[in-house]
């Protein structure tokens, strides 16, 4: 019983330290900054400029905005855009599939910015996110097949109409965005504690060591370090937030180097996990109906990103 209590207190201490000293300052500042850019129409303007190019990959104007939201805000941010697409009959299911496939592959800001503190290469992770998303979006568009509602008329027009907001003053916007960042961190504390506790229990019973011993020879042959087993297993069992917490812990304690973090980043920093999938497909029935082609495309997109990271690092 004493061991269980020690695991709980140690997990809680690690999670609270991560939340207070890494997540909180990063997310408050980034959300404040992004809220200003979003309200002033800068994000929408960039998305509108990019949409004629990205339409080649099957992505609608609002799809571009969803990609920017996940890359620069958080993994939950695209839900609002997906809900808009859900109810817009001019946007075909095929384009929703392309958008979902792209979003699955991209790195979420609430993981990339905190991990940048311990050595994650931001320019490379953003570049591979975009390349992987374009590939995944295009493949999801192809995998879905013909759609009678498919048309090219809504590009840019819907984007302009849906993202329009009442302009607010600069300082209130900063406080509003900072408050949103604080709320994200508050909501992340409980999952962080539980996720770290689960992983610590698996460590204590030897399950992690067993899996690492089993998979390390295979992973090292393709250039993935054995220490990557823990964050990768955490990612696909407990989600991206838990993976981030474990990875931060590994790097700060010296068990993982910044180079090793960057080598596995293409495989682990994305929304394609049980938590991310469940959250994104909750946007509506049309979004849920295109999950299969989007998931098929996402697997290829993530493998593509992972190989790029192994080559670069």
pLDDT of residue 166: 58
pLDDT range class, residue 200, cuts 50, 70, 90? confident
Structure tokens at 308: 């790029």
173 has a pLDDT exceeding 80: yes
The two three-digit tokens of residue 67, written as one number? 């990609």
Q: What is the pLDDT of residue 167?
A: 67
Indicate if the pLDDT at residue 42 is higher than 50: yes
Across the chain, mean pLDDT equals 83
Q: Answer whether residue 157 shows pLDDT above 70.
A: no
**Range of weakest confidence among 37-46, 67-76, 152-161:** 152-161
User: What's the whole-model pTM score?
Assistant: 0.77
Once rounded to an integer, what is the mean pLDDT over residues 222-242? 80
Mean pLDDT of 38-58: 80
Lowest mean pLDDT among 187-191, 247-251, 277-281: 187-191
Q: Which of 136-140, 232-236, 269-273 has the lowest mean pLDDT?
A: 232-236
Judge whether residue 150 has pLDDT over 70.
no
Give the domain extent around 56.
Answer: 2-312
Share of the chain above pLDDT 90, in %: 30
**CA-to-CA distance for 151 and 24, rounded, in angstroms?**
43
Overall domain count for the chain: 1
Where is pLDDT greater, at 163 or 198?
198
Q: What is the mean pLDDT of residues 245-250?
A: 87
SS3 sequence of the chain: CHHHHHHHHHHHHHHHHHHHHHHHHHHHHHHHHHHHHHHCCHHHHHHHHHHHHHHHHCCCHHHHHHHHHHHHCCCCCHHHHHHHHHHCCCCCHHHHHHHHHHHHHCCCHHHHHHHHCCCCCHHHHHHHHHHHHHHHHHHHHHHHCCCCCCCCCCCCHHHHHHCCCCCCCHHHHHHHHHHHHHHHHHHHHHHHHHHHHHHHHHHHCCHHHHHHHHHHHHHHHCCCCHHHHHHHHHHHHHCHHHHHHHHHHHHHCCCCCHHHHHHHHHHHCCCCCHHHHHHHHCCCHHHHHCHHHHHHHHHHHHHHHHHHHHHHC
Residues 2-14: pLDDT tens digits?
Answer: 888 888 998 888 7
Task: Answer whether 77's CB lies under 8 Å from 69's CB.
Answer: yes
Between CA 118 and CA 205 the distance in angstroms is 28
- Its sign, for the CA torsion 262, 266, 271, 272, is negative
């Amino acid at each position: 019983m004493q061991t269980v209590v020690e695991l709980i207190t140690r997990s809680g201490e690690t999670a609270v330290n991560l939340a207070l000293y890494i997540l909180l300052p990063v997310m408050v500042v980034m959300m404040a900054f992004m809220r200003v850019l979003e309200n002033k129409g800068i994000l929408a303007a960039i998305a509108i400029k990019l949409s004629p190019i990205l339409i080649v990959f099957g992505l609608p104007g609002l799809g571009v905005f969803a990609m920017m939201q996940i890359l620069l805000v958080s993994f939950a941010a695209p839900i609002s855009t997906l809900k808009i697409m859900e109810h817009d009959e001019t946007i075909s299911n095929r384009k929703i599939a392309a958008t979902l496939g792209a979003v699955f592959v991209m790195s979420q800001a609430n993981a990339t910015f905190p991990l940048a503190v311990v050595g994650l290469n931001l320019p490379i992770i953003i570049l591979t996110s975009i390349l992987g998303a374009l590939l995944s979006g295009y493949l999801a568009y192809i995998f879905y097949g013909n759609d009678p509602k498919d048309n090219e008329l809504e590009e840019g027009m819907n984007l302009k109409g849906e993202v329009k907001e009442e302009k607010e003053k600069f300082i209130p916007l900063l406080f509003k965005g900072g408050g949103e960042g604080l709320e994200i961190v508050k909501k992340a504390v409980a999952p962080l504690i539980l996720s770290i506790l689960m992983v610590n229990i698996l460590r204590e019973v030897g399950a992690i060591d067993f899996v690492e011993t089993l998979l390390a020879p295979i992973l090292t042959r393709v250039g993935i370090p054995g220490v990557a087993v823990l964050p990768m297993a955490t990612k696909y069992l407990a989600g991206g937030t838990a993976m981030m917490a474990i990875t931060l812990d590994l790097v700060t304690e010296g068990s993982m180097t910044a180079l090793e973090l960057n080598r596995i980043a293409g495989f682990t920093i994305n929304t394609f996990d049980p938590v991310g999938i469940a959250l994104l497909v909750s946007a509506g029935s049309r979004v849920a109906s295109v999950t299969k082609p989007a998931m098929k495309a996402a697997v290829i997109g993530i493998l593509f990103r992972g190989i790029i990271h192994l080559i670069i690092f």
